[in-house]
Amino acid sequence: MGIDVWIDRAIPADPVSPEPEAAIAPRPAPAPADSTVPTSTLEQLKQQVAACRACTLHETRTQTVFGVGNPQADWLFIGEAPGADEDQQGEPFVGRAGLLLNAMLKALGLEREHVFIANVLKCRPPNNRDPRPEETVACEFFLQQQIKLIQPKIIVALGRHAAHSLLKTDQALASLRGRVHSYENTPLVITYHPAYLLRTPSDKGKAWADLCLARKQVG
Q: Report the chain (219 residues): mean pLDDT per 10 consecutive residues.
A: 48 38 36 60 96 96 97 97 95 95 97 96 94 96 97 98 96 96 97 97 98 95
In this predicted structure, what is the pLDDT of residue 35?
A: 58
Q: Within 10 A of 203 (CB to CB), how many other CB atoms are there?
A: 15
Superfamily of domain 42-218: Uracil-DNA glycosylase-like domain (3.40.470.10)
In this predicted structure, what is the pLDDT of residue 6?
A: 56
| Closest residue by Cα to residue 144 from 158, 155, 133 | 155
**What is the residue extent of each domain of the chain?**
42-218
- Gyration radius of the chain's alpha carbons: 22
In this predicted structure, what is the pLDDT of residue 219?
A: 76
Q: Name residues whose C-beta falls within 8 Å of residue 122's C-beta, 6 or more positions apart in sequence.
A: 49, 52, 64, 65, 66, 82, 139, 142
Q: Which helix (H) or strand (E) holds 204?
A: helix 204-218
In this predicted structure, what is the pLDDT of residue 41?
A: 94
In this predicted structure, what is the pLDDT of residue 30?
A: 32
In this predicted structure, what is the pLDDT of residue 5?
A: 53
Q: Is the pTM of this model over 0.75?
A: yes
**DSSP one-letter code for 154:** E
